Amino acid sequence: MKPTLRPLLRLALAMAGLLFGAAPAFADLRMCNTTSSRVGVAIGYRDAQGWITEGWWNIAPRACETLLRGTLAARFYYVHAIDYDRGGEWTGKSVMCTRNKEFTIRGIEDCLARGYDRAGFFEVDTGEQKSWTIQLTDTTGGAPARP
């Protein structure tokens, strides 16, 4: 190999290492519980097959949990949360299906006829970001959220 090509080869290998050896970027939907209570969280969203609701994530006081891993597939997500320690809920106007134990439910229609409960969910607009963190606070359900 000619001496003039070695620096170019080293540069090409270094750049390939940067491109292919870089750590992957994480894109998730996360929930941070900024309250002093333990909370249970259910989410709803629309995927390629239609509406789906999932729950329950139990989140400790002042802790965060990843609810969905990977790049977000929807712009709008819906949240229903329960304060286990002091009572009360974070709800909204969008009615979706839930149940008392862990669940994944397809569809949001006819909840009661299908043997599920109905609950109000508040809307979170992610602005089509690839990842998003929802801050659950004592003062208002779901406010403020951030990418």
Tens-place pLDDT, residues 36-62: 999 999 999 998 899 999 999 999 999
Is residue 28's pLDDT more than 80? yes
Secondary structure (DSSP) of 74-139: -SEEEEEEEETTT--EE--SEEEEE-SSSEEEE-SSSTTTTT-EEEEEEEEE-TT-S-EEEEE-SS
Strand 132-136, strand 103-106: pairing: unpaired
Provide the pLDDT confidence category of residue 27 given band limits of 50, 70 and 90. Answer: confident
Comparing CA positions, the residue from 78, 79, 84, 81 lying closest to residue 36 is: 84
The correct answer on CATH 2.60.40 for the domain covering 26-146 is: yes
| Mean local confidence (pLDDT), 78-105 | 95
Comparing CA positions, the residue from 129, 123, 131, 141 lying closest to residue 46 is: 123
- Sign of the dihedral through C-alpha 40, 44, 47, 52: positive
What is the reported pTM? 0.76
pLDDT > 90 fraction of the chain, expressed in percent and rounded? 61
Is residue 94's pLDDT more than 90? yes
pLDDT > 70 fraction of the chain, expressed in percent and rounded? 76
For residues 79-102, one letter each, b for 16 or more C-beta atoms within 10 angstroms of the residue's C-beta and e for the rest, the string is bbbbbeeeeeebbbebbbbbbeee
Is residue 22's pLDDT more than 70? no
pLDDT at 26: 59
Q: Dihedral of the CA atoms 78, 120, 60, 128 (nearest 10)?
A: 10
| Mean local confidence (pLDDT), 4-27 | 40
| Mean local confidence (pLDDT), 5-25 | 37
47: amino acid identity, one letter: D
What are the residue boundaries of the structural domains of the chain, listed by start? 26-146
